[in-house]
Structure 1
Amino acid sequence: MTCKDEVELSFSEINLSTSNNNLVEVNIPNAIGNENITNRINSTIEKTVIGSLHVGGSDNITSKSIEESITAFNKEFQIFKTDFPEIAEQWDAQIDGEVLLQSSEIISIAITSYIYAGGAHGTVTISFLNFETITGHIILNNNLFKDVEGFKKVAKSYFDKAIKDKDVFLDTTTFELPENMAYNEDGIVLLYNTYEVAPYSTGIIEFVIPFEEISSFLHFNSF
């Protein structure tokens, strides 16, 4: 890949819907440029959105596109209304994506989904996706770092402060990194979704560790 190819990789925002959709709004980044790279990035984003919109167990997802998922979500609601006509609540799904960082080595994207499909409250879930800029391949969490254990030691002190600020009491002797970590302009973002480490009432736990404190542990450059 040439430097020219790298510079030409960019993102636009796209809005996806269907003709009979009243419940779902999807606004996500769309990678533009070298198709070998952008197809991988866009496919991974698409699979994340499809998974977010799926009602039921993740082992029986059949939708092949976001549009199919939107249609399926609306159909599930109609089935629900047929089975429970006395329930007045309207289902709702809002999915938004943003590019947190795009550098010569790494692209980090956040997908935020709010899904309400009945029950006491809706669910907000944030998913971070990290890609190699020159290939478009997804980066596994452990591959974000040259020294995971060194990074964990720094991360634990930030985690302890974050839960203290929320007045949450947890056993931090068995500290684990979250499922979602990403690069942004200031450092590495660590995010624990609701229920990941604490009760629902705690909400999302999120904090940023500045690059200057952890640069020696990182595998990718943020510039």
Structure 2
Amino acid sequence: MRLYTLFALACLPLLGACQFLGGQSDQLRPQRITWEQRADACQGERCSLVNVDTLQFAEQPPLNALIERALLAMTVEQAEAPLPASLQAYSAEQLQRAPQGQETWLQAKLVDQHDDLLVIELSSYLYRGGAHGMPGRAFINYSLSRQRALQPSDLLLPGGEETFWQAAREAHQRWLREQEFEQDVALRNNWPFEKTANIALLRDKVLLKYDVYTIAPYSMGHPTLSIPYSRLRKVLRPEFLPAQK
């Protein structure tokens, strides 16, 4: 699978300080937008709801649009289904269609801010009945100077894709040791290493976050792997490598 696909949610055209791209930017303080809607027609004990906890950045309409579309993408449960027109439109349709026993929780959170880079983590939880719902995660790595999400062609040196995923495999081995799973043959066979689209360029490391049921059982939540920038010096373009790392 090509890296373009793996970064899909972070690059949706639709979804401290470090020295990433030179100049120092002011620390942005987004406005938090929260709302919840419940089904009016529900007569049961567990009425359906849609809960949204998102962000808006002043004078950053491209980023605001990216965040909304990325959250909407996390509500799509059938392949090739179109995105709803807006979060409000999704909520109205969802609650009318299924007024009882279903829940949708959506969140966007600013998890890091660099000189030129904002890292937004997107979270979802879709409950459709049964013992538990299905959580989801994604990231947007947004360049303020370029006014768009960073794409793989922005990040990687030519030929860097293979080395990047080799570094991720090494991080997976470290994670297995930390979880004391290195000798667990059954777990290693049932939950082998996989690539992920959920990649965040944090100030001190590159973080990979996995969806449930990918490299570990549901009960372990969202496993995270960390790659130090020192391991990526011949992989990432120089402007994304902090000099001190």
Scaled to the shorter chain, the TM-score interval is 0.7 to 0.9
Residues 112 and 118 of structure 2 are in contact (CA less than 8 Å); yes or no, is this contact kept in structure 1?
A: yes
CA distance in 1, matches of 2:207, 2:102: 31
Q: CA-atom RMSD, angstroms?
A: 3.0
Q: Work out which of the residue numbers 27, 32, 47 in structure 1 matches 2:53.
A: 27
CA distance in 1, matches of 2:85, 2:241: 33
1:114 aligns with 2:135: no
Q: Work out which of the residue numbers 169, 174, 194 in structure 1 matches 2:212.
A: 194
- Corresponding residue of 1:124: 135
CA distance in 1, matches of 2:117, 2:228: 17
- Corresponding residue of 1:204: 222
**TM-score, structure 1 normalization:** 0.75
- Corresponding residue of 2:68: 46
- Corresponding residue of 1:92: 103
1:73 aligns with 2:94: yes
Q: CA deviation at 1:16?
A: 3.6
Q: Work out which of the residue numbers 154, 178, 181 in structure 1 matches 2:167.
A: 154
1:102 aligns with 2:113: yes
Shift in alpha-carbon separation, 1:40–1:213, aligned structure 2, 3 A: same
Q: CA deviation at 1:142?
A: 5.5
CA distance in 2, matches of 1:28, 1:141: 25
Q: Work out which of the residue numbers 78, 83, 93 in structure 2 matches 1:57.
A: 78
Task: Give, as a single letter, the amino acid of the residue that structure 2 aligns with 1:30.
Answer: Q
CA distance in 1, matches of 2:241, 2:57: 19
Segments of structure 1 that go 5 or more residues without pairing to the other structure are 82-89
Q: Which has the higher contact order (CA 8 A, sep 6+)?
A: 2
Write out per-residue CA displacement over residues 198-217 of structure 1, whole angstroms, 9 at most, x where no aligned residue.
45455322122233443453
More off after superposition, 94-103 vs 212-221: 212-221
Q: CA deviation at 1:44?
A: 1.4
Q: Work out which of the residue numbers 196, 200, 210 in structure 2 matches 1:182.
A: 200
Segments of structure 2 that go 5 or more residues without pairing to the other structure are 1-22, 41-47, 182-186
Query: The residue matched to 2:124 in structure 1 has which SS?
Result: strand
Q: CA deviation at 1:158?
A: 0.9
Instruction: Give the percent of matched residue pairs that are identical in Structure 1 and Structure 2.
Output: 20
CA distance in 2, matches of 1:111, 1:47: 11
